[in-house]
């Protein structure tokens, strides 16, 4: 059986999610009151991949925050001159990967399958694998979308054999160009259907949508949040205070909605930054 390690790609700047990511790495933005990075690490743990020998996390933008958050839970690869893309990030990890295949996941991927626990929901990537092909977790393309791969789009995780990893260059590039398209051209790309719900949380609208999906139509309230007003279909982080009314909102830890204030379809931080969708 081919040895496999897990990699969470968490180096991106999250430019599409600004201004939320000006002071907080995208990978640490919470969905359902859990940082996206922890969702990804938990998914790998569900596959039996955990610890510094089996899992790596890369970091670049606000790297000190990522490093402190991960601690000793995974091997850390810091890109000191800024993000070098998904391909460059894996290339930098080659000495650690050391001949294994890599199950690489984007930290900003939100996945949820009500029928399967995290990890088990992407186990099809590993089941029956020959060890030679590139596998990609996929969903159907959106109507009218002319990109993708044979009518399907990437859904957060890809399984890449060492023969595709060993020659990657440590330069700014992405897996679409260096692995997925070449594998597709060679007949080596296998598209694995994801049966659950997937969102790329790269924009504020999709980040809000992922949180509302995690709330499952109700309000998800951290034990340390305090509500004296009304909260409807929202996610309230630790220390959040709702004295007014929030509907379809995400309040990050420490955020406040004052008495008499109504907030709808928005994201708010502890500093008062409010992003309305």
Residues 70 and 149 reside in one and the same domain? yes
Residues 73 and 144 reside in one and the same domain? yes
Angstrom distances, CA of residue 268 to CA of 135, 172, 235, 249, 253: 38, 33, 11, 8, 9
Residues 262 and 148 reside in one and the same domain? no
pLDDT per residue over 82-115, tens digit each? 999 999 999 999 999 999 999 999 999 999 999 9
Last residue of a domain, one of 168, 200, 232: 200
Residues 19 and 130 reside in one and the same domain? yes
Residues 251 and 151 reside in one and the same domain? no
Does the N-terminal peptide bond of residue 19 adopt cis geometry, omega within 30 degrees of 0?
yes
Q: State pTM to two decimals.
A: 0.94
Number of domains in the chain: 2
pLDDT at 51 over 80: yes
Q: What is the pLDDT of residue 147?
A: 81
pLDDT band of residue 146 (cuts 50, 70, 90) is: confident
Mean pLDDT of 197-215: 96
Q: What is the pLDDT of residue 31?
A: 97
pLDDT band of residue 145 (cuts 50, 70, 90) is: confident
Mean pLDDT of 59-82: 96
Distance CA 262, CA 250 (A): 13
Residues 190 and 74 reside in one and the same domain? yes
pLDDT per residue over 15-32, tens digit each? 888 999 999 999 999 999
Host domain of residue 11: 4-200
Last residue of a domain, one of 143, 168, 200: 200
Residues 146 and 194 reside in one and the same domain? yes
Indicate whether 255 belongs to any domain. yes
Residues 138 and 18 reside in one and the same domain? yes
In the block, residue with structure tokens 């997925």: 180
Residues 154 and 263 reside in one and the same domain? no
Indicate whether 207 belongs to any domain. no
Distance CA 246, CA 236 (A): 10
Mean pLDDT of 118-126: 97
- What residues form DSSP beta bridges with 227? 242
Give the CATH number for residue 144: 3.90.550.10
Indicate whether 18 belongs to any domain. yes
Q: Is residue 109 within 8 Å of 155, Cβ to Cβ?
A: yes
- Least Cα distance to 27 among 71, 82, 66, 75 occurs for 66
Last residue of a domain, one of 137, 170, 200: 200
In the block, residue with structure tokens 């029928």: 115
- Least Cα distance to 55 among 36, 38, 35, 41 occurs for 41
């Amino acid at each position: 059986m081919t040895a496999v390690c897990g990699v969470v790609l968490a180096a991106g700047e999250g430019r599409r999610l600004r201004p939320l990511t000006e002071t907080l790495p995208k990978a640490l933005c919470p969905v359902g009151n859990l940082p996206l990075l922890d969702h990804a690490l938990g998914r790998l743990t569900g596959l039996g991949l955990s610890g510094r020998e089996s899992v790596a996390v890369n970091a670049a933008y606000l790297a000190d925050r990522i490093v402190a958050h991960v601690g000793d839970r995974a091997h850390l690869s810091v890109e000191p001159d800024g993000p070098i893309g998904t391909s460059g990030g894996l290339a930098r990890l080659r000495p650690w990967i050391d001949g294994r295949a890599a199950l690489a996941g984007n930290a900003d991927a939100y996945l949820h399958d009500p029928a399967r626990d995290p990890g088990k929901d992407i186990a099809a990537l590993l089941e029956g694998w020959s060890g030679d092909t590139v596998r990609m977790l996929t969903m159907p393309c959106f109507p009218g979308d002319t990109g993708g791969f044979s009518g399907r789009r990437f859904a957060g995780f890809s399984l890449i054999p060492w023969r595709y990893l060993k020659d990657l260059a440590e330069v700014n590039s992405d897996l679409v160009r260096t692995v997925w398209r070449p594998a597709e051209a060679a007949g080596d790309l296998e598209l694995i259907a994801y049966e659950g719900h997937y969102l790329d949380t790269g924009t504020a609208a999709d980040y809000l949508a992922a949180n509302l999906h995690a709330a499952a139509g109700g309000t998800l309230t951290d034990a340390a949040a305090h509500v004296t007003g009304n909260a409807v279909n929202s996610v309230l982080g630790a220390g959040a205070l709702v004295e007014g009314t929030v509907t379809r909102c995400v309040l990050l830890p420490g955020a406040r909605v004052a008495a008499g204030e109504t907030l709808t379809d928005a994201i708010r931080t502890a500093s008062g930054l409010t992003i309305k969708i």
